[in-house]
Each structure stands twice: as structure tokens, then as C-alpha cells.
Structure 1
């Protein structure tokens, strides 16, 4: 079990993680590819926001179950509540102070095949569509 302090780049958002981390993950879904984070999965009880909760922005897409948090000041992705395990967070380990990323194995997870369930998905979002998910007319990415 380890304890790490973490923060965004500007320091407005600060948090502590106390967890047994055994591996790190990457994800190939359309969002994770763009943010290029390496994450540690921790139970919600193992992450405590110590400052700046009011400075956390929220990004949700597709099903809206995952809650991606970022600093409103500097824009850094800090952590997200997971879609497949909503009682867990994926923590951006590059936000953790004195965390030795090289000391942990990194496992690639498959997110590209997760279903796209929102009623108006962008054509760029990969994954099988449900009946309610129809690509936008004309491929308009806005």
C-alpha cells in the first residue's frame, strides 16, 4: 500500500491516493488516445480531493456514465470515474508526485470496442453502435 499526493499542473486541484497499485493501464478509446494518459485504477475510497474540488471541470460523453475530471485553470486531466467500474477512478499517474511509472507494468486495455450509445455520436468515435446511436448527418464533427 502506498500514498501519493497529486495535483494538476497549476496546483489548484490537489488530491491524495492511498492504494495498492499493481499495474498501470492505457486505453485505446477515442478520448484516452487524445489525452494520452497512463492510469492507475483505484477504489473511490482511495482517492481524496484535498483542494480545488470547485476547480474541477467535468467532461462526459457517449453514455455519460464515465466522469472525466480536469482542472479548469490549466486543463490537465487528473482522474475519471470509470464507465465499466463506477465505484473506481482511473487516476492520471503523471499527476502523482514522486510516482515511479517505470516500477509498474503497463497493460493496454481495449476501449475502442466499447459500444457507442449516445443518440448523436461523432463519426470519429469508434465502436459498435446501438440502435439509438446514429452518426451525425454529413459527418459534421461539431
Structure 2
């Protein structure tokens, strides 16, 4: 299914095609504060509708994940990184997906504090 997602103000907007069966909730220091619910897709499946420069990047700890957020409204709609096999992936914050009933999506919990 094709979805559209964006930050609150719309300066960062994108589409992706995926089946959302479940989301991941992580308790690492940034995810716990941010409250994201994430799905992971190949980065090539995320198509930006706004200029890439509209999303600024934050990294921390090992600096392997690019946490992308809007410099205007501060919302974090996606992140970028590599999976264990070295493939480029996007972590989509499903709370930013338009028209999605987030309460209907099963959530798996990940202990990012211990990872």
C-alpha cells in the first residue's frame, strides 16, 4: 500500500510503498523521549516529495543512524541507516503517516538501552 508521511508543518514530506504489519517501540535514549513508532523499509522505497535539505540530521553515540527531522517544526518523520547486512534502510515514524490508525498497529518492544 502506498502511504504519504510528513512532519507537522509539511516541510519534510515523502511517500513510500509498504505493508505495515507491526511497529517497533525502542527505549533507547532518543526514541524513548521522542515516542516514535517505527517501521523499517529499504531506503530506496522512500521517495522524498520535498528537498532533502528540508530535513536536518542529528547523530549521537556511534553516529551510524541519521535521525532526520524538520528544522521548522522539530518533528522526526524518518531516519536512515544500514541493516546488519549493510543495506540502506529508512526507519519511518508511523506517527507521521497520514490517515493511519496507529492504535490498530501491533507494537513490538525493543530494548535499545541494552543494545
Flag the structure with larger Rg.
1
Q: Is the 8 A contact 1:21 1:42 kept in 2?
A: no
Q: Is the 8 A contact 2:24 2:38 kept in 1?
A: yes
Residue number in structure 2 paired with 1:48 = 47
Q: Is the 8 A contact 1:66 1:80 kept in 2?
A: yes
Which structure has the higher relative contact order (CA within 8 Å, separation 6+)?
A: 2
Deviation track 1:66-116 (CA, whole Å, cap 9, x = no partner) reads 1100001111011111465552111111111011213321000111112xx
Q: Is the 8 A contact 2:82 2:88 kept in 1?
A: no
Corresponding residue SS for 2:77: strand
Residue number in structure 2 paired with 1:98 = 99
Alignment of 1:1-142 (within 5 A): 2-82=1-81, 84-85=83-84, 87-114=88-115
More strand by share: 2
Corresponding residue SS for 1:77: coil
Taking only aligned residues, the RMSD between alpha carbons, in angstroms, comes to 1.5
Q: Displaced runs of 4+ in structure 1, greater than 2 A?
A: 82-86
Q: TM-score, normalised to structure 2's length?
A: 0.90
Q: TM-score, normalised to structure 1's length?
A: 0.74
Q: Is the 8 A contact 1:43 1:88 kept in 2?
A: yes
- Structure 1's 108 and 31: CA in aligned 2 closer, same or farther, altered over 3 A? same
Aligned length: 113
C-alpha separation in 2, matches of 1:42 and 1:49: 14
Corresponding residue SS for 1:94: helix
C-alpha separation in 2, matches of 1:32 and 1:22: 20
